[in-house]
Structure 1
Amino acid sequence: MEVFFYHLEKQPLEAALPLLVEKSLERGWRVVVQCGSEERLEQLDGHLWAYDDSSFLPHGSDREADAALQPALITTSEGNVNGAAIRFLVDGARLDRLEGYERLVFMFDGRDEAAVEQARAEWRRAKDGGLEVTYWRQAPNGRWERKA
């Protein structure tokens, strides 16, 4: 399993997350996005419907009756009801068990010192657990560059 850390500096989560979710779905992976709060879940749910007029990102939340059928699911819980291969953790979301996915993606705001410290702690936890970790940072043009 791979564990990716995305350091948001040039774009907010609302700009970066939809593109990464789209790429995951293109690979044939089911996706789960775990938010740190119910408020953030609501905000991202609405945003993913409207972020791009020329695109459609099929998704739902774990509150819906058909949650298990959703290709991309937004939640605040640690469950994996849609059988996702990739899990995005945003806004301080925590996951007790790091196993069971093809890829975990921690996305954190580089302007928030608490978020940076949490990402460092998660990095150490993943490394200590023997997982393959990589660190990605946004270049001035907004593209992602692997730094470690």
Structure 2
Amino acid sequence: MAEAAEVLFYHLERAPLERVLPSLLERTLERGWRAVVQSGSAERLEALDLALWTYSDASFLPHGTARDGDPSRQPIYLTTSNETPNGAGVRFLVDGAEMTGFNEFVRIVCIFDGQDSEATARARTQWKEARAAGCAVTYWRQSENGRWEKQG
């Protein structure tokens, strides 16, 4: 049986997802990992697709969606389902996407909007589910200067 994933919760308070996600994905690729970004809606997925192409003038994040074809070649694959066609070791859950299992990934990253009470409640439920599944779970918050700090 595979080991349960490490699950990280990122509580957005000072910066929007479109600014936070690219840096987390950059670090994922630097480690040699592939990623899947699962969004809770197709509209939000389209916005993230555009944001990942345009977030920086100096770089871009290689990624694609089902419409781009050959998902197995995408280092970062964007989806609204629980598919993992690129063999990713890291799954990012954003905008209400739900965890479906903990054994397929090295790491699961749940990013939630702290200003949205429904998103916060969902994150609390996911935290409990991850702990019950035996996952190592950590919680990250942005400090006043914008750096991520481990809170628990």
Same fold, judged at TM 0.5 (above): yes
State the one-letter code of the partner of 1:121.
T
Hey, what does 1:96 align to over in structure 2? 100
Hey, what does 1:147 align to over in structure 2? 151
Identity value in percent: 55
Q: In structure 2, what is the Cα distance between the partners aligned to 1:22 and 1:61?
A: 18
Hey, what does 1:38 align to over in structure 2? 42
Deviation sequence 1:36-82 (CA, Å, 0-9, x none): 00001100001100110011211101332121100001000101000
Deviation sequence 1:60-119 (CA, Å, 0-9, x none): 013321211000010001010000010000000012212210100000000000000000
State the one-letter code of the partner of 1:88.
F
Residue ranges of structure 1 left out of the alignment (5+ in a row): none
Q: In structure 2, what is the Cα distance between the partners aligned to 1:28 and 1:98?
A: 20
Q: Paired residue for 1:133, among 129, 137, 147?
A: 137
Select between 78-87 and 63-72 the one with higher mean Cα deviation.
Answer: 63-72
**Correspondence list, 1:79-118, <5 A:** 79-118=83-122
Computed over aligned residues only, the root mean square deviation of the Cα atoms, in angstroms, reads 0.7
Instruction: Mark the CA change 1:62 to 1:95 in structure 2 (over 3 Å): closer, same or farther.
Output: farther
Deviation sequence 1:104-147 (CA, Å, 0-9, x none): 00000000000000000000000011111000001111110000
Residue ranges of structure 2 left out of the alignment (5+ in a row): none
**Deviation beyond 6 Å, 4+ runs, structure 1:** none
SS of the residue corresponding to residue 18 of structure 2 reads: helix
The TM-score with structure 1 as length reference comes to 0.98
State the one-letter code of the partner of 1:101.
F
Kept in 1, the 8 Å contact 2:99–2:126? The answer is no
The TM-score with structure 2 as length reference comes to 0.95
2:69 pairs with 1:57: no
